[in-house]
Structure 1
């Protein structure tokens, strides 16, 4: 397909698999491609689950063949030569950025600061911005833009580092109609968590404890936990310890979880921290209400309490339990949240978010 827009964009990702940040990167490639940009993607790891658009340079395949020091140097040189050969107008770096020496090489040797955009996708900003103010300014202060996915992240970066090149662009919500056509035979009445099973971040233990104390198990409302991760076995054991083995079902990660999301009574987010949680906007986009803890950051930029869901104090089992019970027992509240769900996230639509990206990719 010949592009009428001559601007060339390179999106650099850790991978295109499993997580919400990775899903957002894949969607960004599709959105910019559909806006007629010439899109290329460079993936550090050979993990490509989500659909994307554009040309892919999979450095992960080279990493699998040779991950020695010489192999790493060769990959960096291939990366540098790729950027040089294609003369990209902008490089959008979506990677988690860990390691000072490595990032000095990338930012000072491989990238050209004046056309580099660094994305920060978590309130745990140490994953993206080196915590030393001196080195953070050295690495990212002269970049064209630092794009954060929530207002809270931008405020934190401004307060801690005083960056002058900050922009806020939320994650877009874009579920293809075809993804919802893959209907599942789902007869259960259930609530749903979907995401990576990393309890240090997602705090699914809190969800299990609150669910066990709620009225849902006694009213035949199951809990489905959809996803994979390092803590899956631990969470299964915790579920058994709480006496929930007949009420909690663990499902494997799905690239397309949306039929399960659409059929859920409501979805739940209990994270210790986030960036801009896709699970909430994706749930609302298919008309399913949400309950979320008010963690940093994102939920309070998505949920209007008692309008499209319930927002509760974080790390508070009783508050989360009460919210679950309210959704079960207060039919008017539930129906109001359900009827407002889709309309409430129109500001995160592909067209709106796409226009914001077009503005900075002049």
Structure 2
């Protein structure tokens, strides 16, 4: 660990249940390893992922009491915490879709600190008010805006004209797999994993492609790993497609790689993403991937027919054909599998840490 006296406060909605939250937890560990003094502030009391630094869990206060005056009280606690520690930087990883609330936070709570705003989804409605004038006012004093993909960066620059946008990809943590602890699934399977949110992940497309593919005839199951609000809805869709004997659900696991490593391949069918951890994590353990070419991230991770397959979004037949090709075209599958790990070496913690240090030291 290097020595550095800069103090950084990472603000996040939570530290659990999703890829953005996992990336935030990993960011705290990277910055501590570089040598910065790191604090985290969570809005919700959800802590699933390992992190580094000191934690202010505002979610505990929210659990005790909520409502308008309770929210004002939590903002006061937050403001006093920032004043007490006099941070050199605030890195804001939250979604920011309420113009009034974010105006209060940016103009009162964050003043006069240097703030780096992170964009973790191509859906800019999560981060900017629809009125472009208000959006520019909200972000005009940002020290920097960091996007997790080049496509997000280009969209923000085109839409709002900001000049202080840079891209820093989500990293892969080099955690060795504990082979003795790997969850044993006594069948061949392909995998999709993440939050069970149909509006974003579009698992229906995955189900329909699986149904018309040859995988079930080859006795290859489809496993969904994750938890979320749409579990019942998705189980109902599986029943409607008469796939209850072929599609299995496994609850959220904060160590998904133990299941990923045994999968034939991993699928992603999202309507939109940011820079999906599902893809880089799978490739990092040698599991090839099939992904729709959604906005954004997959095209910056997958080289088609080299480390995985990239298909047109919403095209159920093309997705089914891709699934079949990974089963029946052994040469293609082995080629992608052999290239998987090396293809994501550029997203290692060591490499992405350099990008964060360069950004922070330049301000």
CA 1:181–1:83: 2 relative to 1, 3 Å: farther
CA displacement 1:20-59 (0-9 Å, x = unmatched): 1001000101111111111100000001111111000000
Note the C-alpha offset of 1:184: 2.2
Residue 196 of structure 1: aligned partner: 195
CA displacement 1:5-29 (0-9 Å, x = unmatched): 1011100000001011001000101
Instruction: Indicate the SS of the match to 1:201.
Output: helix
Aligned length: 361
The answer to whether the 8 Å contact 1:92/1:119 transfers is yes
Residue 338 of structure 2: aligned partner: 339
> Is 1:183 equivalent to 2:182 in the alignment?
yes
CA 1:119–1:181: 2 relative to 1, 3 Å: farther
Gaps of 5+ in 1: none
Residue 142 of structure 1: aligned partner: 141
Q: Which residues in structure 2 correspond to 1:129-278 (within 5 Å)?
A: 129-178=128-177, 182-278=181-277
CA 1:154–1:179: 2 relative to 1, 3 Å: farther
Residue 26 of structure 1: aligned partner: 25
State which drifts further: 113-122 or 99-108.
113-122
The answer to whether the 8 Å contact 2:15/2:47 transfers is yes
Note the C-alpha offset of 1:120: 0.4
Residue 116 of structure 1: aligned partner: 115
The 1-side partners of 2:238 and 2:177 are apart by 34
Instruction: Indicate the SS of the match to 2:159.
Output: helix
The 1-side partners of 2:275 and 2:79 are apart by 31
The 1-side partners of 2:307 and 2:188 are apart by 20
Note the C-alpha offset of 1:68: 2.1
Note the C-alpha offset of 1:70: 1.4
Note the C-alpha offset of 1:179: 5.6
CA displacement 1:158-181 (0-9 Å, x = unmatched): 010000110100100114115666
Instruction: Indicate the SS of the match to 2:72.
Output: helix
The TM-score with structure 2 as length reference comes to 0.97
Note the C-alpha offset of 1:247: 0.8
The 2-side partners of 1:149 and 1:129 are apart by 16
CA RMSD between the two structures: 1.3
Residue 300 of structure 2: aligned partner: 301
The answer to whether the 8 Å contact 1:264/1:288 transfers is yes
Residue 43 of structure 1: aligned partner: 42
The answer to whether the 8 Å contact 1:175/1:282 transfers is no
Note the C-alpha offset of 1:114: 5.7
CA 1:181–1:126: 2 relative to 1, 3 Å: farther
> Is 1:52 equivalent to 2:62 in the alignment?
no
Instruction: Indicate the SS of the match to 2:94.
Output: coil
Note the C-alpha offset of 1:359: 0.3
Residue 322 of structure 2: aligned partner: 323
The answer to whether the 8 Å contact 2:210/2:320 transfers is yes
CA displacement 1:169-217 (0-9 Å, x = unmatched): 0100114115666322233110000001111100000000000000000
The 2-side partners of 1:181 and 1:288 are apart by 19
The 2-side partners of 1:178 and 1:193 are apart by 19
The answer to whether the 8 Å contact 2:38/2:52 transfers is yes
Note the C-alpha offset of 1:110: 0.9
Gaps of 5+ in 2: none
Residue 361 of structure 1: aligned partner: 360
The answer to whether the 8 Å contact 1:290/1:309 transfers is yes
> Is 1:77 equivalent to 2:72 in the alignment?
no
Note the C-alpha offset of 1:131: 2.3
CA 1:3–1:358: 2 relative to 1, 3 Å: closer
Residue 314 of structure 1: aligned partner: 313
Instruction: Indicate the SS of the match to 1:263.
Output: coil
The 2-side partners of 1:22 and 1:258 are apart by 17
Residue 98 of structure 2: aligned partner: 99
